[in-house]
Amino acid sequence: MKFCKQTLTKAISQYLSEAVEEFSAEQHLDTSFSRLGLDSTGHVQLSAIIEDHTQVEIEPTIAFDYPTINSLIQFLEKKSVQAVEVA
C-alpha cells in the first residue's frame, strides 16, 4: 500500500469541509470526527476516500476506530510500512 500523506490529508480535509460546518484543516487535525459533527454515513465515506487513494481495500469502519485525521494517517502509515516489510 502506497499513498501520499499530503494529498490524502488534503482529500480528507476537502471532504470534511463539505460535510461539516466550520471545519478548519489547521485546527482540527486532532479533533474527533464526531466532535466535528460528522454522522455515521460520513465516517464510512472517509473509508471510501482512503480506498481511492491507497488502491487497497479499507474496512468501512476505519474512521470509527481511528476517529481523527492524525490518528487515521498514522495508522495508515504504519500499515504501509508493514506492507513493505512483508513484501
Partner 1 sequence: MSNTPATPLLTDIITNHARNEASSIACSFQPRGPETALHLTYKALVEKVEVRAKLLTLLGYRNKHVALLFPSGLEFIVDFLACLRAGVIAIPLNVTRNAKQFERTLTILEDAKVKAILTTADTQKSLCKQLTETQGGHESDFIWIDEHYRTLEDIDIPAVTSDQVAFIQYTSGSTSSPKGVMVTQANIVHNMQVMQQSCQHPKGAVVGGWLPQFHDMGLVGHMLLPLYLAGRYVFMPPMSFIQRPSRWLKLISQYRIFCSAAPNFGYEHCVNLIRETEDLSDLDLSCWKIALNGSEPVSASTMQQFSQRFYHLGFDSNAFFPSYGMAETTLFVSGGPKGTGVQSITVDKALFELGRVETKADGVKVVCCGAINDDFTVRIVNPDTFEICRSNETGEIWIAGDSVAAGYLNQPAKTADEFYAKLSSGDPQTFLRTGDMGFILAQQLYISGRIKELLIVRGRNIYPYDIERTCRSYRYAAKGNGAAVFSFQRDSQTKLAAIVEVSRQALADNKLSRMTDDLKAMVTEEHEITLDRILVVPPGTIPKTTSGKVKRTACSALL
| Sequence-distant (≥ 6) Cβ neighbours of residue 87 within 8 angstroms | none
Q: Does 60 bind partner 1 (CB under 8 A)?
A: yes
Sign for the CA dihedral angle at 68, 36, 17, 42 comes to positive
Q: Does 41 bind partner 1 (CB under 8 A)?
A: yes
In the complex, minimum distance from the CB of residue 60 to partner 1, in angstroms, rounded to a whole number: 4
In the complex with partner 1, which residue's Cβ is closer, 17 or 60? 60
**Interface contacts to partner 1, rule CB under 8 A:** 31-32, 34-41, 44-45, 47-48, 51, 57, 60-61, 64
